[in-house]
C-alpha cells in the first residue's frame, strides 16, 4: 500500500471532469486500497480520485465513528428523495483548515458500482448524504467553496496561495 499525494486548491487538476471506470482490474484495486490508506491517514471521511490526480469516477468514504466501515462508490449517481435541504459544516482535504456551511439535499438515493463492478444502491441522509454529494462533486471538478459567495471564495484562494508559498 502507499500514501498518495492529495492535490490542494487552487490546483487546476481538481477541476478535471472524471471519466467512468470501465476496468476493474488490479490497477483499480491498488488505487482503491491506496485511497483508503490515504483517507484514513489524513484523516478524512471521504476521498475522491480527483484529489489524488486520478480522474476516474470513484470515491471512498467511511463516516463511521470508529472508522471501520470502508465503502467504495464507482460511477456514482444520486438523486434527492424530496425537497428538504440541510446546512452542514463541510471541510475538504484539498482545502485544508477551511470550513463552511453548505446546504445540500438531506435525503438521497445513490446508485453506484462496487470495486468489482457490481451495481448497488441505497438511501442516505445526514452526514453520509452530505459526504456522498461532496465526493460526487469532486468527480465533476466541483468543490464545496463553489457554493460560497465569490468574495468568500477569493479569500479562501488567497489564504491557500499564502499557505503554499509559506511551505516552499
CA distance 105 to 4: 30
Q: Are 132 and 110 in contact (CB under 8 A)?
A: yes
Active site residue 135: yes
**Extended strands (E) in 8-70:** 46-48, 58-61
Please state the closest distance from residue 14 (CB atom) to ligand GNR, in A. Answer: 10
CA distance 77 to 122: 11
The smaller minimum CB distance to ligand GNR, of residues 45 and 124, is found at 45
Decide: is 14 part of the binding site for Ni ion (CB under 5 A): no
Cell 487552487 belongs to residue: 10
Cβ contacts of 14 within 8 Å, gap of 6 or more: 7, 50, 51, 94, 138, 141, 143
Per-residue contact string for residues 57-96; x = within reach of ligand GNR by CB under 6 A: ---------------------------------xxxxx--
Peptide bond into 57 cis (omega under 30): no
Please state the closest distance from residue 133 (CB atom) to ligand GNR, in A. Answer: 8
Q: Which of 65, 97, 101, 135 is catalytic?
A: 135
From the list 6, 56, 60, 92, which residue makes contact with Ni ion (rule: CB under 5 A)?
92
Instruction: Tell me how long the chain is.
Output: 168
Residue 55 contact, options Ni ion, ligand GNR, none, Cβ 5-8 Å cut-off depending on partner type:
none
Per-residue contact string for residues 11-50; x = within reach of ligand GNR by CB under 6 A: ---------------------------------xxxxx--
What pairs with residue 104 in β-bridges?
86
The smaller minimum CB distance to Ni ion, of residues 28 and 144, is found at 144
DSSP class of residue 83? Answer: S
Q: Which residues bind Ni ion (CB under 5 A)?
A: 92
Under the rule (CB under 6 A), what is the footprint of ligand GNR? 44-48, 51, 90-94, 130-131, 134-135, 138
Active site residues: 135
Amino acid at each position: 500500500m502507499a500514501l498518495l499525494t492529495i492535490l490542494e486548491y487552487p490546483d487546476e487538476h481538481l477541476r478535471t471532469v472524471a471519466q467512468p471506470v470501465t476496468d476493474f482490474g488490479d490497477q483499480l484495486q491498488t488505487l482503491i486500497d491506496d485511497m483508503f490508506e490515504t483517507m484514513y491517514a489524513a484523516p478524512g471521511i471521504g476521498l475522491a480520485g480527483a484529489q489524488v490526480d486520478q480522474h476516474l469516477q470513484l470515491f471512498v468514504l467511511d463516516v463511521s465513528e470508529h472508522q471501520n466501515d470502508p465503502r467504495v462508490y464507482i460511477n456514482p449517481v444520486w438523486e434527492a428523495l424530496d425537497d428538504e435541504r440541510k446546512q452542514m459544516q463541510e471541510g475538504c482535504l484539498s482545502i485544508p483548515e477551511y470550513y463552511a456551511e453548505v446546504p445540500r439535499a438531506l435525503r438521497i438515493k445513490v446508485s453506484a458500482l462496487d470495486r468489482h463492478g457490481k451495481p448497488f444502491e441505497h438511501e442516505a441522509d445526514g452526514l453520509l448524504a452530505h459526504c456522498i454529494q461532496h465526493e460526487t462533486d469532486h468527480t465533476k471538478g466541483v468543490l464545496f467553496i463553489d457554493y460560497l459567495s465569490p468574495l468568500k471564495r477569493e479569500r479562501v484562494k488567497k489564504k491557500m496561495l499564502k499557505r503554499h508559498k509559506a511551505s516552499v
